[in-house]
């Protein structure tokens, strides 16, 4: 078996590369995927009640990159959608990110934009040297906002206090002086009309693309002749964990279907103080699907599951860099995407990088 290009991983990075190589270079591509489906973590499906869910946690597309948006719209019709998040604090839901609306609801006030700035400034704690994420929040928002929105949420999310995390984890608190309660302010926002899996299927609908599912690439790569390998899997696994395994934060998902049309006021609610879960997602509010029942997802951060979030401390960043040094010495291998670079990417960033790498590849 011979292919000019072999891609390890059928997530957005691998799919974008496969589509470009197949359609723009007219070359054959083999995708090898360890899971039983395409799409990586954006994979979605219909549950037993017929409700469209995101199997690996909620995804909503947002970008200011028109080229990326135009590219992805070539494979799907689009549902316009503005993501809104509420945070459950002191027994009430308040908007997130922190805006004028958040402060007024939280403290039962009616501040103007200028008054909000003065209010926040009066609560900031001067810190000579900002070293940790705790320092960042205390210096920008004060102790009450730190404890209500960040301290305990971070402990749940990462398993450690913000005082133990590098300042880059929470590098800036986006205070909005206006009443805009959207979570994202990007120009282009929405979700594929028929779901992410259907979009990915259309991207891969090309005779030059072959897909091998349920397969660890190491089990078959020795029997495949190829010119270039595009690797989107875990970088440490590629090198047989020679320096040790990289640490990831994972999530345990708990799906629940309720016999009601609506479960919560918005798509996403966060719980920084109460309960063991960090957030609840109600998928119908994201997809626009009409159904007499609704399915929600509760997220419980943990260690040891699927590798979702690279661990944001200097120790693990340093180990990842050792693997990247090895990667830079690999001939005819491109390391692409979140797992292969040990870096968190939004969907538009994944596609942007894949498009850029493809342009270099074909030149």
- Determine which one of 27, 44, 152, 176 is catalytic: 176
- Determine which one of 299, 348, 349, 353 is catalytic: 299
352 flagged as catalytic = no
- 3-state secondary structure (DSSP) of residue 288: coil
105 flagged as catalytic = no
- Determine which one of 2, 77, 90, 172 is catalytic: 172
279 flagged as catalytic = yes
**Cβ neighbours of 291 (radius 10 Å):** 15
Residue 174 CB burial class (10 angstroms; 0-12, 13-18, ≥19): exposed
- Determine which one of 47, 49, 117, 346 is catalytic: 346
- Determine which one of 20, 279, 338, 352 is catalytic: 279
- DSSP class of 84: B
Which residue blocks in 174-229 are alpha helix, DSSP H? 196-203, 217-220
134 flagged as catalytic = no
Q: How far apart are CA 326 and CA 361, in angstroms?
A: 20
Backbone angles phi, psi at 112, to 5 degrees: -85, 175
226 flagged as catalytic = no
176 flagged as catalytic = yes
Which residue blocks in 159-214 are alpha helix, DSSP H? 196-203
324 flagged as catalytic = no
- Determine which one of 249, 270, 338, 352 is catalytic: 249
| Contact residues for 61 (Cβ-Cβ < 8 A; gap 6+) | 72, 188, 189, 190, 191, 192, 347, 348
- Determine which one of 276, 306, 344, 359 is catalytic: 344
Q: Which residues are catalytic?
A: 172, 176, 249, 279, 299, 344, 346
């Amino acid at each position: 078996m011979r292919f000019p290009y072999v891609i390890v991983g059928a997530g957005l990075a691998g799919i974008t590369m496969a589509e470009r190589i197949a359609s723009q270079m007219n070359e054959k591509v083999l995708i090898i995927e360890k899971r039983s489906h395409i799409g990586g973590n954006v994979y979605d499906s219909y549950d037993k009640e017929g409700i469209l869910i995101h199997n690996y946690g909620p995804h909503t597309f947002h970008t200011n990159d028109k080229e990326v948006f135009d590219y992805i719209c070539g494979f799907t019709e689009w549902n316009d959608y503005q993501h809104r998040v509420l945070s459950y604090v002191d027994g009430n839901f308040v908007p997130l990110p922190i805006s004028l609306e958040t402060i007024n609801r939280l403290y039962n006030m009616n501040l103007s934009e200028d008054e909000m700035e003065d209010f926040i400034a009066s609560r900031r704690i001067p810190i000579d040297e900002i070293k940790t994420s705790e320092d960042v929040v205390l210096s920008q928002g004060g102790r009450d906002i730190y404890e209500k929105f960040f301290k305990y949420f971070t402990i749940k999310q990462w398993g450690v206090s913000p005082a133990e995390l590098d300042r880059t984890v929470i590098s800036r608190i986006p205070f909005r002086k206006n009443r805009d309660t959207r979570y994202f302010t990007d120009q282009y926002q929405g979700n594929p009309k028929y779901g992410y899996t259907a979009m990915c299927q259309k991207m891969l609908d090309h005779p030059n693309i072959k897909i091998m599912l349920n397969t660890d690439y190491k089990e078959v790569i020795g029997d495949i002749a190829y010119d270039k390998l595009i690797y989107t899997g875990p970088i440490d696994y590629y090198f047989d964990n020679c320096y040790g395994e990289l640490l990831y934060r994972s999530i345990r998902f708990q799906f629940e279907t309720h016999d009601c049309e609506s479960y919560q006021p918005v798509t996403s609610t966060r719980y920084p103080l109460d309960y063991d879960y960090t957030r609840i997602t109600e998928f119908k509010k994201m997809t626009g699907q009409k159904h007499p029942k609704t399915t929600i997802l509760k997220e419980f951060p943990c260690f040891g599951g699927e590798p979702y979030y690279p661990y944001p401390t200097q120790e693990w960043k340093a180990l990842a860099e050792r693997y990247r040094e090895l990667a830079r010495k690999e001939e005819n291998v491109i390391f692409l995407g979140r797992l292969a670079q040990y870096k968190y990417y939004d969907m538009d960033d994944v596609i942007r990088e894949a498009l850029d790498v493809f342009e270099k590849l074909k030149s």
